[in-house]
Structures are given as C-alpha cells and as structure tokens.
Amino acid sequence: MDPEGSQNINEARQAPVLEPGHTLSSVTEKISSIVLGRGTTKGWMFGFAIAFALLMLLNVAVTYLLVKGVGIWGIRIPIAWGFAIVNFVWWIGIGHAGTLISAILLLLHQKWRTSINRFAEAMTIFAVACAGMFPLLHMGRPWLFFYLMPYPNAMWLWPQFRSPLVWDVFAVSTYATVSLLFWFVGMVPDLATLRDRAKNRAARIIYGVLAMGWRGSAVHWSRYETASMLLAGLATPLVVSVHTVVSFDFSVAIVPGWHSTIFPPYFVAGAIYSGFAMVITLAIPIRKFYHLEDLVTMRHLDNMAKVMLATGVIVAYGYMMETFIAFYSGNQYDRYMIMNRMTGPYAFFYWLLIACNIVIPQVLWSRKVRNNVPILFVVALVVNVGMWLERFVIVVVSLHRDYIPSAWGTYMPTRWDWATYVGTIGLFLTLFYLFIRFLPMISIVEMRSLVEETNEEGQAK
C-alpha cells in the first residue's frame, strides 16, 4: 500500500538513473579520475589531433575570407544567404538542448538530467561559440561587427532596432552569457573537488582559482542552490526566446516560405530536436570510451530518445502545416514555393529532409530500438543531418525562387563554404575534447545526491 513501493514497481521496469552499488566516494573518484588520474591517453590524442586539424582548416578558411571577402562563398543574388546562415541556425539550435536539460529539467525536478547536464551545457556553450562566428563572418566588413551594438559612437547612430538581425545580437549574446554563467556556477563545487584531489601544483592553482575559494560550507551550499535555481529561471525563457528571435530573421521577411507565423514554435521544437540528437551523438561515445555506462544509463538514453521523438513529431506537424497553409492560402507565390520545394532543382534535398527528420526517427516509437545503442546513435546522426538539411531548404530553396522569375538563380556552395562549416565542427570538437580532458564532464555533486536514493531503491528491489 505504500506509495514508495508502487513507485518502485514502475521504476523497476525502467533502468535506474544511477547504477546501485555506488558510494559517495566511488562516484567522486570515478568522475574526477577521468581528469586527474588518466593522464592524456592515446585515444584522446588521436581524436584531438583530428579535431585540431579541422580547427586549422577553419583558420585558413576564415583568414582567406577576411582577406578576399564573401565572394569566395557561393552566395549571389538572389541567394544572398547561404551556408553561413544555415550553419548559424544549425549550431544555435543544437545549443538549446543543453539549456533545456540544465535549466528546464532542473525546475521540473527531473532527476535523469543529472549525469548529462554538465556535458550538455558544455555542448551548448561550444555550439553557441561556433554559431556566433557566422553572423560576424558573413558581414562584408566583419571587423566592424561592433556597429551592431548600441554604444555612444561618433556617428550618433543607433543600430536598426526594428531588425531581427539586431535582436539576434542581443538574443545570442544573452544566451552565451547566461549559459556560460550557469555552467560555471554549477561547476564550482566540482572544481573544488578537483582542486582538493589534484596532485601537481599547477593543477591545484588553476582549479583553485576557478573554484573561487569554495569550502563546501553550509552557507556555500545554500547559496549554490539559490544561484542554480535563479540561473535556471533565467535560462528557461531563453530556450524559447533565442530560437524564436532567430526564426524572426526569416519570418519578418516577405519571402514566400519564410513569412509564416508557425516559424517561432517550429524553430524552437526543431532546435530541441537537433540539440537532443547532438547530445545523444556525444553521450554514446563518451559513455563507451570512458566506461560511464553506470552513470549515463539506459534510462538517460531512453528519455533523450523520447524527447527527440516528441520534438520530431512537432517538427513533422510544422512541415505539414507549411504545406497545408501554402495551398489553403490560395497565394500563388506560396503555392509555387511548396511545389518548387517538392519538385524543383533542390527536390532531392527536400525529400532527403523528410526521410531524415520524419520517416527514419519513427523507429524510436519502439522501446527495443530506443534501447539499442548503435541504432540510436545512427538515428541521432540522421537527425543531425536532417536538421541541417531543414535549414538548407528553408534558406536556400526559399531564396532561390521568389516573386519575379527573372530574379531566380541557383546556389552552389564552394569549397570555402564547406571548409568553414567543417572547420566549425573542428572548433566544436576541439573545445569538447579539451573540456573532457580538463573539466569534470559529469556533475559530481549531482551524482552524489543520487547515491543514497538509488542504493535504497536497489535494496528495495
């Protein structure tokens, strides 16, 4: 008759959030030894070398861009926005999952966020760093990027506050700042743990500075909890607002295929979709190579797959509504836009998009599939590709044929477009490799808080 017991029956059917049998010290030891005990392994060096090589590619691509100008890319009239904006939206979207896991799931008291939130939030910060490069690089004179900010200047001009491109500046910089703060504040007790366990002096000084004098006193813990809740409250609206503002880049324009009121919720759902796909793509290799299967359990993968499926269904609804409204509106330009997407020169990418985003992820309805790690990994990769294709279709296919046929054109990405994109993947991976080498990739404090109750549940079973 006890509610505890009936709860156990339900949870017994699911994997636990933390494998029972851990103690406070074993959890701490396991996570901190990845940073302090392993040293730099060959496997890490191999992966880091590839990531760093791609980062160097980014270096070359950006330098050449700054020297020669945006003409090296495939953009032209009418497709004045190409890979730069596609990649910007893709990276920003990916970032949203980290904030959702960190902030929203915290406020909803979801315990399964604990082992994934640290590296998911790191993923967000690195994704926003990659995203932020594109609006700057796509400008004709990137070195004048600061004109976008409202500061007292010698021209007595404010930026154009009516433009979503200026709103982007505020949205993305707020997002970057709050995410960074949230991630760092959450990490302070863990950095203190590393400071206390570090063996060489340099490590102790560096972690000591970052831990900002954390003593683990009751006052510190109380402030930590308050700060985490406040930052979570601050970050939660950002999950919705940032990608809404990014969607405004398109929806306030009059281009057919862009001027649609469904864009804000559709983009936010798409962002969470691609973000969770990226978290799964990162979580699966990490738990394998660092033997973290008992911390990042099947429950986490199962739940993330469910969120992916749910947001995928919302995105599918978005596609169906776009198509329906285009025809229902009777507007010849909107109708042509949809026909062009389905049957025009870029039709292959549209149908590949439908396959990747709508058709293939439906396998996740099956619990067996959700718990099959290799298949889940492949589906997550497919969703990543699909969401890139979605931004490609939205940006390029809507722009290349709009109102006047004499203004139609085609977009062909150049090698520099690809180099910049792959280069930002290199930047992301480089930062991520550095993160897993030097910082605690799972939240030690939160895992410790789970130890007692999972051991109780383990015994009650």
The contact set with another protein (CB under 8 A) reads 151-157, 195-196, 204-205, 208, 212-213
Nearer of residues 204 and 306 to another protein, judged by Cβ: 204
- What is the rounded distance in angstroms from the CA atom of residue 311 to the CA atom of residue 93? 13
Nearer of residues 187 and 277 to another protein, judged by Cβ: 187
DSSP 132: H
- What is the rounded distance in angstroms from the CA atom of residue 137 to the CA atom of residue 91? 15
Does an H or E element contain 6, and which? helix 3-13
Shortest spacing between CB 155 and another protein, in angstroms:
4
Interior angle at CA 194, CA 191 and CA 197, nearest 5: 155
Whether residue 411 contacts residue 400, with contact meaning beta carbons closer than 8 Å, is answered with: yes
Nearer of residues 204 and 437 to another protein, judged by Cβ: 204
Exposed e or buried b per residue across 238-254, where buried means at least 16 C-beta atoms within 10 angstroms of its C-beta: bbbbbbbbbbbbbbeee
User: Both tokens of residue 303?
Assistant: 């739940």
Nearer of residues 143 and 156 to another protein, judged by Cβ: 156
Shortest spacing between CB 197 and another protein, in angstroms:
10
Shortest spacing between CB 403 and another protein, in angstroms:
25
Nearer of residues 141 and 368 to another protein, judged by Cβ: 141
Secondary structure class of 166 (helix, strand, coil): helix
Nearer of residues 21 and 37 to another protein, judged by Cβ: 37
Nearer of residues 13 and 199 to another protein, judged by Cβ: 199
- What is the rounded distance in angstroms from the CA atom of residue 186 to the CA atom of residue 358? 36
Nearer of residues 205 and 254 to another protein, judged by Cβ: 205
Nearer of residues 184 and 317 to another protein, judged by Cβ: 184
Shortest spacing between CB 225 and another protein, in angstroms:
21
- What is the rounded distance in angstroms from the CA atom of residue 221 to the CA atom of residue 195? 17
Nearer of residues 206 and 253 to another protein, judged by Cβ: 206
Shortest spacing between CB 151 and another protein, in angstroms:
8
Count of residues for the chain? 461
Whether residue 213 contacts residue 51, with contact meaning beta carbons closer than 8 Å, is answered with: no
Shortest spacing between CB 301 and another protein, in angstroms:
39
User: Both tokens of residue 460?
Assistant: 């009650």
Place of tokens 């109780």: 456
Query: Which residue, 149, 147, 134, is CA-closest to 246?
Result: 134
Torsion from C-alpha of 385, 435, 298, 15, nearest 10 degrees: -150
Whether residue 338 contacts residue 327, with contact meaning beta carbons closer than 8 Å, is answered with: yes
Shortest spacing between CB 33 and another protein, in angstroms:
18
What are the backbone dihedrals phi and psi of residue 91, each rounded to the nearest 5 degrees, phi first?
-65, -45
- What is the rounded distance in angstroms from the CA atom of residue 259 to the CA atom of residue 246? 13
Cα–Cα distances in angstroms (integers) from residue 287 to residues 116, 319, 432, in the given order:
10, 34, 14
Shortest spacing between CB 167 and another protein, in angstroms:
21
Residue 257, CA atoms < 13 Å, CB-side half-sphere: 23
Shortest spacing between CB 201 and another protein, in angstroms:
8
Nearer of residues 3 and 152 to another protein, judged by Cβ: 152
- What is the rounded distance in angstroms from the CA atom of residue 78 to the CA atom of residue 81? 9
Shortest spacing between CB 149 and another protein, in angstroms:
11
Shortest spacing between CB 96 and another protein, in angstroms:
29
The amino acid that residue 135 corresponds to is P
